[in-house]
Amino acid sequence: MKKIAIIAGTNRKGSNTLKVAKQIREMYQKCGADVELLDLSQLPAEIFTPDAYETKPASFQPFSEAVLRSDGLVIITPEYNGGPPGILKFFIDMLKFPESFDSRPVAFIGIAAGNWGALRPVEQLQQIFGYRNAYIYPRRVFIPGVVEALNDGDKIKDADLKLRLETQVEGFLEFVNAVGRQEN
């Protein structure tokens, strides 16, 4: 069973990214993956100290270990001022390198209130993950107008968009099988 870690890329209270991330988690579970959802609003306070660059607090270990044991990472990023949220970059900077991203398959989903669906942050992140030698899954999904895109139950309304996300889930799992690390 492939292990997928989903990173919901913000710590904003009431985040739409987290709502979508929960739906993506269900999609991976339906496909038989073992999924962990990393919610950056749950990061421990001790990680936000100057010392954390040098010595990681034990409370950060569940986050760093989830990334390290994953066969594939799914990054779901909102757009904040034309880029990914600062906390997502900070989280990336707190992870062990190079092993957190080197040769690890990564897929991207962008979410924005605006019309561009976080194209900019996704492309900026592709540059970062490319630099870190991740295996980038080329089929990205963008969700523009996210506020209107969700129903009262916080689920995506549009059948076509849902299908694109499901197609990405299936395709990414095939990609993980093809290029990823072998099962232990």
Which residues contact ligand FMN by CB under 6 A? 10, 12, 15-17, 78-82, 111-114, 146
Could you tell me which of 142, 54, 70 has the C-alpha nearest to residue 103?
Answer: 70
CB closer to ligand FMN out of 26 and 65: 26
Cβ 43 to ligand FMN shortest distance, Å: 15
CB closer to ligand FMN out of 72 and 78: 78
CB closer to ligand FMN out of 16 and 168: 16
Position closest to ligand FMN via CB: 114
Helix (H) or strand (E) holding 100: none
CA 108 to each of CA 49, 101, 152, 161: distance values in angstroms, whole numbers, following the listed order: 28, 14, 25, 15
CA 86 to chain centre: 14
Cβ 178 to ligand FMN shortest distance, Å: 31
